[in-house]
Amino acid sequence: MEYRPLGRTGVQVSQFCLGTMMFGGKADEAESLRIVDHALDRGVNFIDTANVYAGNESERIVGKALARDGRRDKVVLATKAFMPQGDGINDRGPSRRHIVTACEDSLQRLQTDHIDLYQMHRSSADVPVDETLRALDDLIRAGKVRYIGSSMFPGWQIVEALWVSRELGLNRFVCEQSAYHMLDRTAEREVIPAARSFGLAVIPWGPLCGGLLSGKYHRDGGPSGARWQDGRDNFGRSATPLAWDVIDLVRELAAGKGCTPSQLALAWCAGQPGVTAPIVGPRTLEQITDNLGAVDVTLTADDLARIDALNPPCGVAVRYYDAANRLDLRPHLHRSLV
């Protein structure tokens, strides 16, 4: 396992981050604990969750997993806030009121007195960013949070947040968690360049495009009950003809290297300029075992050139990033992409 700096901080994190969105949902508690144990045994020291995952259950299970045998001190623990935590109009968003309350609740569920990395799950045009940053800065000064980051912030909002932090003398974001994989390279247009320019770590989520790059799907279908059915996932995102061409190439390259398609796709993501640690989100022990095998996969310059020839830098074969950020493009532009 390779370790990389978390942006401009002195913290070192493993080249893959264990994502826990499945914990408490498709992965029950027992399986989730086995996944954590295996990841830590393989050298993973970076775990990411969010208060919204499985209705708070993911945080609770992660807290239980790390409360055993002093494991909490060995892990860089990240969580996120922003999404609704109740029916009240103020139980969501990046306001001071919600952030402080959400942090206290997460600390209890995680059974810890501090969060290593606290991230805003989304940006908002409804709350001034200085209010959000002041609240996060106060949490750092109170010792409840060590570092702060963003998730799915457009490039301009990353720069705005950094500028406001500098102007007001506040702690700054150290990382950006963005949707990024071989089939949607939108983040390469502005987000990753902004992060590289200002020293932010990039922590891609969805590096397997919701499992589409795992190799278990084909043009004519996939496993019954799986996320992608009839060329669409459970969020309505479409697998285009170009996406299937890329997936065919991934299978071919993986077969030549004796690895799985998912391992090759993860190795590609982890090796892209500016990327710190892609987040793998396993549902089973078998999946985390497979995913972490990506540390042994090396892509050659010829491999990378063949991938770029199909879906070039900044290219889009699946509209994943925009859909995740709820960006409604004009109908004619939507048709040209799908």
In order, the DSSP letters of 136-189 are HHHHHHTTSEEEEEEES--HHHHHHHHHHHHHHT-PPEEEEE-B-BTTB-GGGT
- Report d(CA 101, CA 121) in Å as an integer: 15
* Residue-level pLDDT at 219: 84
* Residue-level pLDDT at 331: 36
pTM score of the predicted model: 0.93
- The CATH number covering residue 161 comes to 3.20.20.100
Question: CA separation (Å) from 260 to 220, 230, 239, 292?
Answer: 20, 23, 20, 11
Number of domains in the chain: 1
* Residue-level pLDDT at 337: 30
Q: Please report whether residue 335 resides in a domain.
A: no
Mapped onto helix, strand or coil, the DSSP state of residue 261 is helix
Q: Please report whether residue 219 resides in a domain.
A: no
The answer to whether 320 is a known catalytic residue is no
The one-digit pLDDT tens for each residue of the chain (338 residues) are: 999 999 999 999 999 999 999 999 999 999 999 999 999 999 999 999 999 999 999 999 999 999 998 899 999 999 999 999 999 999 999 999 999 999 999 999 999 999 999 999 999 989 999 999 999 999 999 999 999 999 999 999 999 999 999 999 999 999 999 999 999 999 999 999 999 999 999 999 999 999 999 989 888 777 766 778 777 777 778 889 999 999 999 999 999 999 999 999 999 999 999 999 999 999 999 999 999 999 999 999 999 999 999 999 999 999 999 988 864 333 333 322 32
Q: Please report whether residue 329 resides in a domain.
A: no
* Active-site residue, from 53, 147, 320, 321: 53
Instruction: Please give the order of strands across the beta sheet that includes 145-151.
Output: 201-202, 173-177, 145-151, 115-120, 76-81, 46-48, 17-19, 279-280
Q: Please report whether residue 218 resides in a domain.
A: no
Q: Which domain holds residue 26?
A: 3-211+265-296
Q: How many CB atoms lie within 10 A of CB 77?
A: 23
Q: Please report whether residue 198 resides in a domain.
A: yes
Q: Please report whether residue 325 resides in a domain.
A: no
What are the residues facing 14 on neighbouring strands? 3
